[in-house]
A and B are shown apart, each in its own frame.
Chain A
Amino acid sequence: MLNLWVVLFSSFRVLNMKSEPYMSARHLPFGDSALLIEFGDVISLEVNGRVIALNEAVLKAGIQGVEELVPTYRSLLVRYNPLKTTYEQLVFHIKDIEKTLKESITEVKSRRITIPVVYGGEYGPDLTYVAQFHGLSEEQVVRLHSEKDYRVYMIGFIAGFPYLGEVSDKIATPRLETPRLKVLAGSVGIAEKQTGIYPCDAPGGWRIIGRTPLKLFNSLQQPPALLKAGDNVKFSPISEKEFKTVKDAVLKDIYSPFSEA
């Protein structure tokens, strides 16, 4: 009987960890030159909000020995120079900074970026499938995808690839069973509740519903990625004709998708 309770209790804890942010942040060693601060094992605006807020605060604090920060869905990686600081010192500094942050952070101060997208047709070969999968019209899918603001949770997978969330349950769609060998640069896809944009031609299994003429990554520019974690993104449906106009403007470097939040 006792054993059963242990089993039930531990499975409850696992479930609980999956759906909730941790009560307090976990500070974990990541090799000899990095520290990982985890806020939960879940995709949520709140958990990611704490990551983004800590990222900003640590940058601002300019802690000795900190070399690079990598914000992700649910944790912040701090790469440091072990010749200039120690793991213990860094944990101490960062815990101090955490005390100054609010407990619940769903809103982050961010840039707002509008991403123009041609939906459907050759630009979005899976739009029809996504619509049929949910018993919606293509127009309804486009409206549901473009009416919402999305947080850039993190950049990863491929240089400049933004993980955006989250799409309405009404259009959340599983990945392709067999990934495509080539998804074109600018393709906008859905994978479950995530949406994202391919910065370059790459293999991929996301359901492609449209394409943007914007360039998400350019190794010749500083910074090289259009987006960063914490940004606020909105998609705006455009026509094929507008796609060409915007693409020209992007090539001439006279197009700006940024507006004040």
Chain B
Amino acid sequence: MKAFHVLKPGLFTTVQDLGRYGYLKYGVPISGTMDTFSLVAANVLVANNSNDACLEITLSGPELQALTRTQIAVTGGAISLKINGQNVPMWQTLEVQEGDVVSFGKVESGCRAYLSIRGGINIPLMLESRATYVRGGFGGMNGRQLKTEDIIKGFDIPSLKAGYSMPENLVPQFTDQFKVHVILGPQADMFTKKGINTFLSSPYKVTLEADRMGYRLEGTIIEHKAKADIISDALLPGAIQVPKNGEPIIIMRDAQTTGGYPKIAVAITPDVSFLGQAKPNDMIEFSKIPINQAREKLFEYYKLFNNLSRILLKR
């Protein structure tokens, strides 16, 4: 079933789901949504499965024409959203008729917005996921960002009888400040005490080198004990590498799976999702957290996911 015709693709719009797990050993990154909470929320708002594929919109949104009657929801960073030129709200189920034009402005807070379609985007699974991995050229829309004239397919699935909206207190607010909890290590012992204190007490700015692979940060130099290279080992999203120049790099979803810089710390899972909304010039502050507390936070985070469909307000 054809769901949307792409009139304008936006700056960088890709198909993403929760990610491609199980292939790191073959050098395939996890990819998938940069902001997990927003993607899951977008799906739940149209009663999809959490892992259904959505559009991930970066900074500037697309223009799409509906080719069928369907329901959508838009979540993530605040973005102006219109149907046939009329402003409509984010974080709730929206009814779209055949021929309607859904258009977006620029993201006003955060960096990425998510558009879900009732039933999910119908694109073949590649290595068990629909996530686009642009650098590898596979997944999603033929391994690339959307372009004009693309057709986005959906699944034939009954439309919802009622819509939902997200309670206001659960709508994440993104500013240009990010507070990120980290677990120190695995290679924190390659840094001096002073270096670790610097890392935990100085704000770092996201540079222009920030994309789905990772963010290069600038700020106070973090001091290594001696060498600043390791024999390459594995990377995961959230890992914070510090190369010889002493300025950290946060690894994100599309990064290569191995790297040769020591990792001073790794951001906790809920905060990696939050960090998916960081953009150039935003400021990040790191604070350490013991592993047990991180586990508790993770439990709360997953509990929220599991309860989302019950928490949503019926409209």
Spell out A's residues near B (CB within 8 Å).
Answer: 11, 14, 18, 28-34, 36, 38, 40-43, 67-75, 77, 79, 82-83, 86-87, 154-161, 163, 200, 217, 219-220, 222-225, 228-229
Quote the shortest CB–CB distance from A85 to chain B (angstroms): 11
- Known contacts A11-B226, A32-B291, A41-B231; is A160 also within 8 Å of B266 by CB? no
Which residues from B are CB-within-8-Å of A225? Answer: 26-27
B230 within 8 A of A: yes
Question: In the complex, what residue of chain B is closest to A18 when comparing beta carbons?
Answer: B227
Question: In the complex, what residue of chain A is closest to B143 when comparing beta carbons?
Answer: A219
Given contacts A75-B234, A157-B256, A200-B136, 14 further A-B contacts (CB under 8 A): A18-B227, A29-B291, A30-B236, A32-B295, A38-B233, A70-B24, A83-B302, A157-B258, A158-B27, A158-B136, A159-B28, A159-B29, A219-B28, A224-B127
Contact flags (1/0) for B229-241 with A, using CB distance below 8 Å?
0111110101100
Contact B21–A68 (Cβ < 8 Å): yes
Question: In the complex, what residue of chain A is closest to B133 when comparing beta carbons?
Answer: A159
Contact A32–B186 (Cβ < 8 Å): no
Contact A154–B258 (Cβ < 8 Å): yes
A43 to B258, CA, bound (A): 14
Quote the shortest CB–CB distance from B266 to chain A (angstroms): 3
A50 to B258, CA, bound (A): 18
Q: Sorted from nearest, which 3 A-B pairs have the closest CB atoms?
A: A156-B258, A31-B266, A28-B186
Which residues from B are CB-within-8-Å of A30? Answer: 185-186, 234, 236, 239, 263, 266
Contact B269–A33 (Cβ < 8 Å): yes
Which residues from A are CB-within-8-Å of B225? Answer: 14
Of B231, B257, B302, which one neighbours A73 at CB under 8 angstroms?
Answer: B231
Contact A38–B186 (Cβ < 8 Å): yes
Most buried by A among B137, B257, B302: B257
Question: In the complex, what residue of chain B is closest to A78 when comparing beta carbons?
Answer: B234
Quote the shortest CB–CB distance from B261 to chain A (angstroms): 13
Contact B230–A41 (Cβ < 8 Å): yes
Contact B22–A68 (Cβ < 8 Å): yes
B299 within 8 A of A: yes
Which residues from A are CB-within-8-Å of B236? Answer: 30-31, 33-34, 77, 79
Question: In the complex, what residue of chain B is closest to A225 when comparing beta carbons?
Answer: B26
30 contacts between A and B (CB under 8 A): A14-B227, A18-B227, A28-B185, A28-B187, A29-B186, A30-B234, A31-B236, A31-B238, A31-B239, A31-B268, A32-B297, A34-B266, A38-B186, A70-B25, A70-B234, A72-B233, A72-B234, A74-B233, A75-B233, A75-B234, A82-B298, A83-B298, A87-B291, A155-B25, A159-B26, A160-B26, A200-B136, A219-B126, A224-B23, A229-B25
Quote the shortest CB–CB distance from A195 to chain B (angstroms): 15
Which residues from A are CB-within-8-Å of B257? Answer: 70, 155-156
Contact A220–B136 (Cβ < 8 Å): no
A38 to B232, CA, bound (A): 11
A83 to B299, CA, bound (A): 7
Question: In the complex, what residue of chain B is closest to A83 when comparing beta carbons?
Answer: B302
Quote the shortest CB–CB distance from B3 to chain A (angstroms): 24
Question: In the complex, what residue of chain B is closest to A67 when comparing beta carbons?
Answer: B21
A228 to B27, CA, bound (A): 10
B139 within 8 A of A: yes
Contact B267–A31 (Cβ < 8 Å): yes
Contact B25–A69 (Cβ < 8 Å): yes
Contact B185–A155 (Cβ < 8 Å): no
B183 within 8 A of A: yes
Quote the shortest CB–CB distance from A196 to chain B (angstroms): 11
Quote the shortest CB–CB distance from B209 to chain A (angstroms): 16
Quote the shortest CB–CB distance from B236 to chain A (angstroms): 6
Quote the shortest CB–CB distance from B84 to chain A (angstroms): 39
Quote the shortest CB–CB distance from B161 to chain A (angstroms): 33
Contact B234–A219 (Cβ < 8 Å): no
Contact B231–A71 (Cβ < 8 Å): no
Which residues from B are CB-within-8-Å of A34? Answer: 236, 266
Which residues from B are CB-within-8-Å of A72? Answer: 232-234, 258
Most buried by A among B22, B136, B186: B186
Contact B295–A159 (Cβ < 8 Å): no
Most buried by B among A33, A69, A79, A200: A33
A189 to B24, CA, bound (A): 23
A261 to B38, CA, bound (A): 49
Quote the shortest CB–CB distance from A12 to chain B (angstroms): 11
Quote the shortest CB–CB distance from B229 to chain A (angstroms): 9
Contact A29–B185 (Cβ < 8 Å): yes
Quote the shortest CB–CB distance from B172 to chain A (angstroms): 19
Question: In the complex, what residue of chain B is closest to A27 when comparing beta carbons?
Answer: B186
- Known contacts A31-B238, A31-B269, A70-B257; is A161 also within 8 Å of B139 by CB? no
Quote the shortest CB–CB distance from B131 to chain A (angstroms): 12
B138 within 8 A of A: yes
Contact A154–B232 (Cβ < 8 Å): yes
Contact B239–A73 (Cβ < 8 Å): no
